[in-house]
Every structure is written in structure tokens, then in C-alpha cells.
Amino acid sequence: MEAMRGGKFLQKFRLYETRSKFYLVGRDKSRTLWRVLKIDRLESTDLGIQEDPTSYTENECQELLWRIHEGNRLTGGLKFVTKCYGIIGFMKFLGPYYMVIITRRRKVGTICGHDIYSIGKSEMIAIPCPIVCPNVANSRDENRYKRLLCSVDLTKDFFFSYSYNIMRSLQKNINDKNTGHVVYETMFVWNEFLTRAMRNHLKNTDWTVALVHGFFKQSKLSVSGKDFWLTLIARRSRHFAGTRFMKRGVNEKGRVANDVETEQIVFEDTPDDIPSQITSVVQHRGSIPLVWFQETSRLNIRPEITLKSDVDYKATRLHFENLVLRYGNPIVILNLIKTREKKPRESLLRAEFAKAIHYINKGLPDDKRLKFLHMDLSKLSRRKGTNVLGLLNKVASDVLELTDLLHCEITISSKPLDASSGQGSCDIKINDDFCAATMVPLLLQKGVLRTNCIDCLDRTNVAQFAYGLAALGRQLHVLKLTEEPKIDLHDPLADDLMDFYERMGDTLAIQYGGSAAHNKIFCEQRGQWKAATQSQEFLRTLQRYYNNAYTDPEKQDAINVFLGHFQPQQGKPPLWKLDSDQHYNIGRQGTLSEETGSRFIKRSLSDGNILCENSAPVSDRNVGENNTASELLPSQQLDDIREPTDSAPEIYMCETNPCPSTKYSTMPGRHSISEERQSYLKRLGYPELHSSNFLDLDLLSSSGNSCDEEAFERKVLQTIMYRSSIIHSPLDGISVGSTTTYSEPGHNDEGRDDTDLSRSSSQLSDSRDYSDRFAQWVANGGMLCY
């Protein structure tokens, strides 16, 4: 928020009304500064706002309000409406403007003396007085739009600060001192659209609060008898935002679905809430940055994946360029999706993702190449004797060697210091007296770890916890709270951190997927009863399926209205009469051609929306003057994968770019790969897997792919069919397949010869072997698979 005169911030407000105007009186926390904002109530369709430039004392402000009351006595005088704590924004549907305000707040944490709040209660107030409201103000469509906006629950998972730019990471706040409009236009301010008209008119942000959506938790913990504060923040991007099957992949502007920045802040507990040192680590999660999507289906828990071609991987390239601008180099990609499936789904995206990274890296200098790691977390979690969290923690530790973390020293002075006096210094305002504190970085984070699975929810959250645990060990070490920069997985502190990430994972999963996260690995780490865990996972799968199929369309509509991606207009079809997010192209009755209608899904007009029109085959497109498509990673046409089978669903694919072959050097001592396995990977578009920086744990075992998930889905659908038959509303057309009963996870691994697995596990734990490969991977980029 933009600082006011003398470093004061308006934090508490009182709203008054006369017949012709609203008067919003705001004051700072210390009650030394009072300001007045006037809002015209006689204008029926436009927003008339005027800011009184005078700064008042409390007595002067009371005198002003008395004079306003006396001047309007004949029309009812000045009336008190409500107290509030900031303006969320203004919204217009088909009639008048509405003002959304915070009427109750809760303090949820403090960062260097800056209070962080969540919303306890909000209220939407019509601006015009009743006598000037047009008839449309009470129309059925207007009321429906209001209900749609109110369905966005601002009391859940939204947070803000008056004096601290919570929408940016700590390192960003130190290095970038922009305030006001600039911070509102960042990707993490969800009410940017709602505040836009007011900010543009007043040229300041004194009256509004910038809302961040995601997760915030802060608690005091202890290590070695010393107390410290741990803060975990997740910031969801407003670009390409939405629900699970409505938002997938990347749009043409490089914005990915479910884009979340996670920041872990640690500082020592002090009596005055001003630590002498503070550390921060940032990591990122986001959808696989390819042009792909899934059709919302009430008949299938896992709808078919549609992968569209992206010439020269332009959208993917834009996404990683944006990550570099946000975090610098290196960008480390941890991909957790499956390698092998009976019904190719995730493996298709893995193959295309690998080709995209390889293609992009060919145009980058060696020191800026994307670093790609792959772990089939689903497969690893089913293997006996494999410590998934331990392996992830080791990967995280080595990635931290590349990216490092932010470590700042904080000094207090009686007056702000010149920022030019020290590189990276930053003057911030803290405490009620707004003393100046200078934060000087001793270490800076460079680059970021980007983690994804298919939904960026369950597996991703486990990996982010492992990275957070490795980072916490180093954060406590640089703060001199521990002697060793490592925390054991069985340490009580690891359990505390797991609770943080489990709660964050549940929150983000509900926002994007409709249910709490699947925390099987966390439950196993705690030693919880296996049957209880399976029951919990089943119920969450059922809840997620129901929300995705039945409630997500309206939830997506509400998000689009809140973010301004859809703006109602007189004479245009209302939102609920349009078939989908793709309002420009699709009507509810279906205006698409017969050739493409069945392949479209509900998509949004959000920033950089992908128009779901049939793309010409790659061979018919102009690839570019340099014919860069001929330099892609070797692969065959993905049509080879879609061989007709009895069990595999139809998967819509666009043609991929033809690629020449590339040879990789072999490495002695590698495990042999079966011809059948190698042939399968070739068809997925992978290079020869003999490179010394490409190792896949799946290749170390000849076991088949588990069918647990398929049986699990069948059980969910059977439950849905049973419940549907009870309420006399059958879901026609559901195909359950065979009558295979639900099997316990990992049951097909029982009785298998684990000799090779134990030997593989010991080889993986060899630090020298891993470090050599890791060093080569660091130097050359490319792919490193586990």
C-alpha cells in the first residue's frame, strides 16, 4: 500500500451517508491523521469519487461531520452506516456501482512489525440512493450477478496488510521499492480489477487494500531451547485462474493454471517483534506449461487429455521467460508425473514436456539452460524399501546449492537511511512509531525450484514439503539457531513443518481441485492406520469428483466476474446463458461446427485466453524462417501411441513437430533396458536413455504398472452409481469396466523379488554417484530422472 504523509497508513474507517453522498472517514492506527472521501450517490451509472486533500485532526474531523449534518438536515442529515477496515473495490454489473468493504478483520501474523490480516466479514453496498436507482438495479439478472459475486467467500484464504507489500516476496520487497499502482498490478493481487477505477481516478491506493489469495500461517516454534517464528505464505496468481478442469496448462501469454508462489520465512523471536536477522526461501508450483486441457465430465473421474500443438513451444517459452524475470536463473524443474501407464495420459505430457525443455534449451546459453529433473512419484511411493521423502529431501538439498536463500540483517535507526548507502538495503516502516529499519541482504536467492505433477496439488505438495524441510535446516543454521544445516525427517521440527505444508496443501487443493489434498505419504510418515488413510483418500476422491463435475462451472463463473474476466453488458447474453468460459465462441446450445464441437471444454476469458479453435496441422503452418522445428528432440508422431485397445480411452492429440534423431553417448555400468521398455519410451518421444545424466528408477525394475488407481476409480464410480440409484437419478452411460474389486495400494508389489530394488536403492543412496551426476547435470542442464 502506498505510504501516506509522514509514513502513516489509513487502517480504520467509518462510513456515513446523506441523501446525496457517502462520506468515508479514514484514520491511521495512532489516531493522528484523518482523511475524508466523498462518493456521489445521485449518479446512477457512473462512479463519482472525490478525495478531500486536507488532513484533519480528530477534533477537526468531528467538526466537519457536524457541519455536513447541519447542511443536510432537511433531507435527513448525516447518518452512520458502518465501520470498516478498507475498500476491497467497486463493481458494476448491469445497473449501478456497488462498493465492497471489509467490516471485520482478523490479525493472522506479523512480518518485521507489519501486521497481516485476513477478512472476518465483508459487505456490498449499492452506491446510488434508492430514488435514482434504475429499474435494472432490482432485475433478476442483476440480482443473480450479485449472488454470483457474493459466492466468492472473501473470509476464506484472502489476506492483506496496510504497510507491508504482502503480494511480493521479502526479497522482491528489498530489491524493488515500487509502491502504489505498481504493486496492485502484480499477478498476486486479486482485487486489481475491482480497485482499478478508483485507483485511476484518485492516483493513489490509500483507501483500498490489496487482497492476496492463497494461504497464510504463522506459528512460534522452538529448536535447541530457542524460539523462532515460522511463516508459510502461498500466493495464487490471478492470471489464468480457476478450477481444476476449467484451467489446465498454459495460455498464449505464458500464464499457467494453478500458478502458486510459496514463501517460507524464518526469524528469531524477540521481545519487540523486530528480529536482527530474517531468512526467506521461495519455490513455485504451476500446471505443466503445455497447451493441454481436459473436458469436464460427469461420467469419468479422469477425463481424456487433449494436447494441442504449440509451434516452437512459444507459450512454454514465454512461461519460463516470465519465471526468469521473477526469480532469475537457474530455473530447476521437478516433474513428478508418471512415466508408464496402461492408458497413456500423464506419460503423454511427460514426453511432450521433455521435448519442449530440450528444444528451448537449444536456444539458450549454457549458464541459462533450464534444468529438468523427473521423478515418477506415484511409482516410487509404491515400492517397498523406498523412502520417497528421503529421496526428495536429498534432491531438495542439492537444488538449494544452486538457488541458495535470502538472508538479511536488520538494523534499527532513528531515521531512514539512504538506500544508496548500501547495495540491496531497504528502508521499511515498522511498529506504531514507524521507526526506520534497514534490511541488508547477506545472501540472495537466485533462481527457483518449479514443481509440478498433473494437478500441482497432492504429489507437488509432498515435494514442496521436502524442499521446505531442507530449506528450514539451512535457514535455522544461518540464523545460528542450530549447529547443523539439516533436519532429520523424524525430528519433531519436521512434524511441525509437515503440519504447515499439509494445511497449505489442503487449502490450495480445495481452491483448485474441490477437496482436501491426498496426503497418503504424510500419513505413512506419521505411521497412521492404513485402513483409515485409504478411507480418507476415497472420500476425498469422491468429493473432488463431485465438485469438479457439478459445482466448478458456477465457481469458475464467480471467479471470472470477480477478476473482471467477464464484464456484463446491456443487450449481451448473460454469463449463465453462455455455454462455457469461451464466451466469444460458444453458446449454450452449441454453435461450433460438428467437426470440433465435441472437443471443446469450458474455458475462460481470463488473461491470455486460448481460443479453442482447430489448429492447422504443424506441417501446414509457417514454422519460421529458420525452420527451427527441424531441431526438435527426436520422436515419432504421437499417433503411434494411440493404438486402439479395449481399455484405453480416446485421447485427442494434435500433430507434433517432426524431429530428426539425436545421439547420446552411452555410459558403462548402466543397467540394461528391455527392448520392449525402450520401444515404449521411443514411442513417447524420449531420447535414448543411456545418457549419464538421465536415470529413471522405473528402469531398475521389471515390474508392471500398478492398476491401483484404475480399481480405485472404479470403486468411486460404483459408489456414485449406487448413491445415484438411491435418489432415483441414475447417471446413464457410466462404464465401470470389469468388476475388479478395490485393491489396497501396493498390493501388486507383494511377493515380488525385491533384491534388485534394494540394490538399486543402495546405489541411489551413494552420495558420490549422485553428486557426480548432479554436477554434470548442473554444468550441462538437460534432464536428470529418478
One-character DSSP codes across 190-221: TTHHHHHHHHHHHSS-SSB---EEEEEEEEEE
C-alpha cell at 15: 462510513
Instruction: Write down the pLDDT at residue 739.
Output: 32
DSSP 653: B
Candidates 356, 367, 353, 370; CA nearest to 628 is 356
The alpha carbon of residue 637 and the mean position of all alpha carbons in its chain are separated, in whole angstroms, by 33
The pLDDT value given to residue 444: 95
CB 436 within 8 A of CB 413: yes
Q: Do the beta carbons of residue 557 and residue 574 sit within 8 Å? A: no
- Pick out the chain residues at pLDDT < 70: 1-7, 134-138, 296-301, 413-437, 515-534, 536-537, 542-550, 579-786
Summarize pLDDT for 193-218 with one digit per residue, the tens.
Answer: 999 999 999 999 999 999 999 999 99
Spacing of C-alpha 163 from chain mean position: 24
283: number of Cβ within 10 Å: 26
- List the grid coordinates of 570: 446491456
C-alpha count within 13 angstroms, C-beta hemisphere, residue 60? 11
Distance CA 291, CA 172 (A): 30
DSSP state, 603? -
> Are residues 473 and 452 in contact, defined by beta-carbon separation less than 8 angstroms?
no
Q: What angle do CA 16, 18, 24 make, to 5 degrees?
A: 30
Q: Return d(Cα 404, Cα 443) in angstroms, integer.
A: 8
Reported as half-sphere exposure (CB side, CA atoms, 13 A), residue 415 has a value of 2
Rg of the chain on CA atoms, in Å:
28
Closest CA to 233 of 260, 262, 259, 213: 262
What is the DSSP code (8-state) at residue 550?
I
Q: 468-482: buried (b, 16+ CB within 10 Å) or exposed (e) per residue? A: bbbbbbbbbbbbebb
Which pLDDT score is estimated for 264? Answer: 98
Nine cell digits for residue 318: 514465454
- Alpha-carbon distances, residue 667 vs 221, 472, 673 (angstroms): 47, 36, 13
Angle at 273 between CA 163 and CA 174, to 5 degrees: 50
User: 436-462 pLDDT, tens per residue?
Assistant: 667 888 999 999 999 999 888 888 999
User: What would the grid cell of residue 48 be?
Assistant: 463519482
DSSP letters along 324-353, please? HHHH-S-EEEEE---S--SS-SHHHHHHHH
Are 95 and 134 a contacting pair, CB within 8 Å?
yes
Residue 532's alpha-carbon distances to 55, 315, 712, in angstroms, are 61, 43, 15
Q: Which of 258, 175, 167, 277 is nearest to 216 (CA)?
A: 167
Strand ranges of the sheet holding 21-28, from the earlier edge strand across to the other edge? 49-51, 34-40, 21-28, 10-17, 79-84
pLDDT value at position 511? 87
CA distances from 447 to 257, 281, 360, 433 (A): 21, 11, 17, 36
User: How would you write 103-145 as a 3-class SS string?
Assistant: EEEEEEEEECCEEEEEEEEEEEEECCCHHHCCHHHHCHHHHHH
Task: Specify the residue for cell string 491511521.
Answer: 28
Query: Which cell numbers in the block locate residue 496?
Result: 511441525
**Around 570, how many Cα atoms within 13 Å sit in the side-chain half-sphere?**
10
- Helix, coil or strand: residue 727: coil
* 103 contact partners, CB below 8 Å, separation of at least 6: 82, 83, 84, 85, 120, 121, 122, 123
Q: What is the DSSP string of 166-185?
A: TTS-HHHHHH----THHHHT
d(CA 547, CA 585) in angstroms, rounded, equals 25
